[in-house]
């Protein structure tokens, strides 16, 4: 019978080391202990892990993620949540919890969004439901969907465009324009400063 270190066993069963730690602490799949209290697993744990995976997939529930850009849109946020709950009910999708957030679609440092990505990374989230692609991010949804698939997570898009206000898109586009215009302005200033230094260096007596 072969023994496996945590990182070896995690790779063998397609899980993360963090998931193994969680299973260990919850008593679902306790690790064996060797010399120096080092954790390890053996072949008998493979079947146990597969049974855990089967049970987990059977009871898998979806996380609804809802977002608006500003505090003024809080009523729209509540409407979005109710619409997504109705969508899941009609589609027969069991709901684990609802996550809601206020923040721009161009901001990838939103706290709830970051925590959601982390939960995908460690294998805790297997299904996400959003009203529209831009609820997760205004740009780059295809990458986020690919990222989620790496860790066995599915993203369902209800595609309810009425829940993605046109004003939000205008604000995001204005943010992009402002960002690039600021960079261009800074670049122009940088060039002018270099030119001035060059002229001053020519005027200096040798």
**Per-chain mean pLDDT for the chain:** 81
pTM exceeds cut of 0.75: no
Q: How do 95-102 and 154-157 pair as beta strands?
A: unpaired
pLDDT of residue 46: 84
pLDDT of residue 45: 87
Q: In three state form, how does the secondary structure of the chain look?
A: CCEECHHHHHHHHCCCHHHHHHHHHHCCCCCEECHHHCEEEECHHHHHHHHHHHHHHHCCCEEEEEEECCHHHHHHHHHHHHHHHHHHHHHCCCEEEEEEEECCCCCCCCHHHHHHHHHHHCCCCCEEEECCHHHHCCCCHHHHHHHHHHCCCEEEECCCHHHCCHHHHHHHHHHHHHHHHHHHHHHHHHHHHHHHHHHHHHHCCC
Give pLDDT tens digits for 97-130: 999 999 988 888 999 999 999 999 888 899 999 9
pLDDT of residue 199: 52
Per DSSP, what are the bridge partners of residue 101? Answer: 67
Per DSSP, what are the bridge partners of residue 28? Answer: none
pLDDT of residue 58: 46
pLDDT above 50 for 26: yes
The catalytic position among 2, 16, 69, 181 is: 69
Question: What average pLDDT does the segment 20-24 reach?
Answer: 90
What is the spatial distance between Cα 198 and Cα 164, in angstroms, rounded to a whole number?
51
| Least confidently predicted of 46-55, 127-136, 165-174 | 165-174
| Least confidently predicted of 22-31, 88-97, 183-192 | 183-192
Pick the CATH number of 62-163 from 3.30.70.270, 3.40.50.1390, 3.40.50.1000, 3.40.50.620: 3.40.50.1390
pLDDT above 80 for 161: no
Task: Establish whether 149 is a catalytic residue.
Answer: no
Q: Which fold has domain 3-58?
A: Multidrug-efflux Transporter Regulator; Chain: A; Domain 2 (1.10.1660)
Give pLDDT tens digits for 41-96: 998 888 788 776 655 554 568 999 999 998 999 999 999 999 999 999 998 899 99
Question: What average pLDDT does the segment 26-45 reach?
Answer: 89
């Amino acid at each position: 019978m072969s023994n496996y270190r945590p990182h070896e066993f995690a790779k063998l069963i397609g899980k993360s080391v963090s998931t193994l730690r969680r299973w260990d602490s919850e008593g679902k799949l306790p690790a064996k202990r060797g010399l120096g209290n080092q954790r390890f697993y053996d072949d008998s744990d493979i079947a146990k892990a597969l049974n855990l995976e089967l049970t987990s997939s059977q009871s898998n529930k979806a996380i609804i993620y809802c977002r608006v850009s500003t505090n003024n849109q809080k009523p729209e946020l509540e409407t979005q949540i109710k619409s997504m709950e109705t969508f899941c009910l009609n589609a027969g999708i069991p709901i684990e919890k609802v996550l809601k957030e206020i923040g721009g679609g161009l901001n990838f440092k939103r706290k709830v969004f970051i925590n959601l990505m982390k939960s995908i990374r460690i294998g805790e989230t297997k299904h996400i439901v959003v009203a529209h692609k831009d609820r997760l991010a205004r740009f780059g949804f295809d990458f986020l969907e690919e990222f989620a698939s790496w860790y066995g997570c599915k993203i369902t898009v209800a595609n309810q465009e009425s829940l993605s206000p046109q004003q939000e898109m205008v604000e995001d586009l204005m943010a992009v324009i402002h960002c690039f215009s600021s960079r261009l302005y800074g670049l122009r200033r940088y060039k002018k400063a270099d030119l001035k230094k060059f002229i001053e260096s020519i005027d200096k007596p040798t």
